């Protein structure tokens, strides 16, 4: 297998056909076709099913695709790391951003970053762990900005920027909005965000340490902040969320935090990266911009900034 063959396979998968893949890679259709036919001959398997509207991957092609993506991403990461050692400024930066930061301070951080590094192309993902961790592992993402709780320490390291309260949320007018104990909430439906491996620790953090148990069937795991917020507002579910999410749409002015007697653990916003990975100059610059806007928020006299600042405890 050769790298250009794998890149051709990825491009066809992403763009739906050989013509579009050729445009994306700035190659001729003949070059793409030749690379894929050579790969099929080497493997003795058909990787593409060609049709009038383009091409789709066969079962063999779909089996190879994640490996191809990982190889291409690892090569890109190696090139970035070596360029960083040479002191070169990278041309691209991929970062995961936790949803509440994306709706509050991200704009100011991006303005500062664009002034410092206008030539760097940014790619931003909504940084829920289920998305970010796989992209960090593949080398596609430089770092993620989000909660570090429950991360496998053998794989990832993190730098905490701030702590904030975690809260149980309900829409305004919810029949349980005056509840004072988690025990009163066990017969209701919940929406949360967690990875498959993180569910047990989250349940222990929220309920188990208080001697309580929530039936798994009561929980919807939403891998999107928009879905999570919508289910709190539109479906009347209870949510467990960072306090700053109350400042974000659609929860802003439509949901409230329950005043519970049980203490809830703090959450954190951290810079998360692969262990032993060195951040390149663009990533280090972006982290500095994040720190600057967090400090500026805590000094601001703006009412919105003060509401957010009152929820944060900076750690740098």
CA distances from residue 273 to 66, 94, 137, 235, 312 in whole angstroms, order as listed: 21, 12, 9, 35, 22
- pLDDT tier, 90 (very low <50, low <70, confident <90, very high otherwise): low
Q: Minimal CA–CA distance to 308: which of 263, 249, 264, 245? A: 245
Mean pLDDT highest for which of 32-41, 132-141, 196-205?
32-41
Residue 234 confidence (pLDDT) above 90:
yes
Which of 47-56, 62-71, 190-199, 218-227 is predicted least confidently? 47-56
Band the pLDDT of 15: cuts 50, 70, 90.
Answer: confident
pLDDT band at 75 (very low <50, low <70, confident <90, very high): confident
Nearest Cα residue to 191 out of 249, 130, 239 = 239
Q: Dig out the tokens for 183 from the structure.
A: 């025990």
- Mean pLDDT along residues 215-235: 94
Average pLDDT over residues 92-112: 96
Q: Name 196's bridge partners.
A: none
Q: Indicate where the chain has its CATH 3.40.190.290 domain(s).
A: 89-316
At residue 139, the pLDDT reads 78
Straight-line distance from the first to the last Cα atom of the chain, in angstroms, rounded to the nearest whole number: 47
Q: Say which CATH architecture domain 3-84 belongs to.
A: Orthogonal Bundle (1.10)
18, 55 in Cβ contact below 8 A? Answer: yes
Q: Where are the alpha helices (DSSP H) in the chain?
A: 3-15, 18-25, 29-43, 59-85, 99-102, 106-116, 129-138, 199-206, 225-233, 281-299, 303-309
Tell me the C-alpha to C-alpha distance, in Å, between residue 203 and each of 206, 212, 225.
5, 9, 19
Pick the CATH number of 89-316 from 1.10.8.420, 3.40.190.290, 3.40.50.2300, 3.40.50.740: 3.40.190.290
Which residue shows structure tokens 């990278």? 90
Percent of the chain residues topping a pLDDT of 70: 97
What pLDDT is recorded for position 53?
66
C-alpha–C-alpha distance, residues 59 and 43, integer Å: 13
pLDDT of residue 168: 97
58 or 51, which is more confident = 58
What three-state secondary structure class fits 215?
coil
DSSP character at residue 179: -
Burial class (CB in 10 A: 0-12, 13-18, 19+), 86: exposed
Considering the chain, what is the average pLDDT of its residues?
91
Retrieve residue 245's tokens: 């999410």
Give the least confident one: 78-92, 243-257, 266-280.
78-92
Compute the average pLDDT of residues 159-165.
97
d(CA 293, CA 271): 15
pLDDT at 204 over 90: yes
CA distance 245 to 85: 39
pLDDT of residue 60: 93
Question: What is the pLDDT confidence band of residue 312, given thresholds at 50, 70 and 90?
Answer: very high
Residue ranges, CATH 1.10.10.10, the chain: 3-84
171 SS3 class: strand
Q: Please determine, for residue 315, whether its predicted confidence score (pLDDT) is greater than 90.
A: yes
pLDDT per position as a tens digit, 261-310: 999 999 999 999 988 788 888 999 999 999 999 999 999 999 999 999 99
More confident residue, 201 or 196: 201
Burial of 4 from C-beta contacts in 10 A (0-12 / 13-18 / 19+): middle
């Amino acid at each position: 297998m050769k790298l250009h063959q794998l890149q051709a396979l990825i491009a066809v998968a992403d763009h739906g056909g050989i013509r579009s893949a050729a445009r994306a890679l700035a190659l001729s259709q003949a070059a793409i076709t030749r690379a894929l036919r050579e790969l099929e001959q080497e493997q003795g398997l058909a990787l593409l099913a060609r049709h009038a509207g383009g091409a789709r991957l066969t079962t063999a092609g779909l089996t190879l695709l994640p490996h191809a993506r990982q190889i291409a991403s690892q090569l890109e990461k190696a090139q970035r790391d070596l360029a960083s050692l040479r002191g070169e400024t990278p041309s691209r930066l991929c970062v995961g951003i936790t949803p509440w930061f994306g709706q509050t301070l991200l704009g100011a951080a991006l303005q500062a970053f664009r002034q410092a590094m206008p030539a760097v192309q940014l790619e931003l993902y909504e940084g829920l762990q289920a998305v970010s961790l796989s992209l960090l592992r593949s080398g596609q993402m430089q770092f993620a900005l989000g909660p570090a709780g429950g991360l496998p320490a053998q794989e990832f390291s993190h730098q905490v920027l701030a702590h904030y309260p975690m809260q149980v949320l309900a829409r305004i007018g919810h029949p349980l909005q005056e509840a004072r104990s988690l025990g009163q909430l066990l017969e209701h439906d919940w929406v949360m965000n967690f990875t498959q491996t993180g569910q047990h620790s989250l349940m222990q953090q929220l309920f188990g340490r208080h001697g309580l148990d929530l039936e798994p069937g009561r929980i919807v795991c939403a891998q999107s902040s928009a879905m999570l917020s919508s289910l709190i507002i539109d479906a009347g579910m209870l949510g467990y969320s960072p306090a700053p999410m109350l400042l974000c749409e659609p929860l802003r002015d439509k949901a409230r935090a329950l005043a519970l007697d049980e203490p809830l653990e703090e959450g954190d916003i951290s810079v998360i990266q692969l262990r032993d990975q060195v951040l390149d100059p663009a990533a280090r610059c972006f982290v500095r911009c994040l720190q600057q806007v967090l400090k500026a928020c805590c000094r601001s006299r703006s009412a919105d900034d003060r509401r957010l600042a009152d929820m944060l405890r900076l750690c740098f």
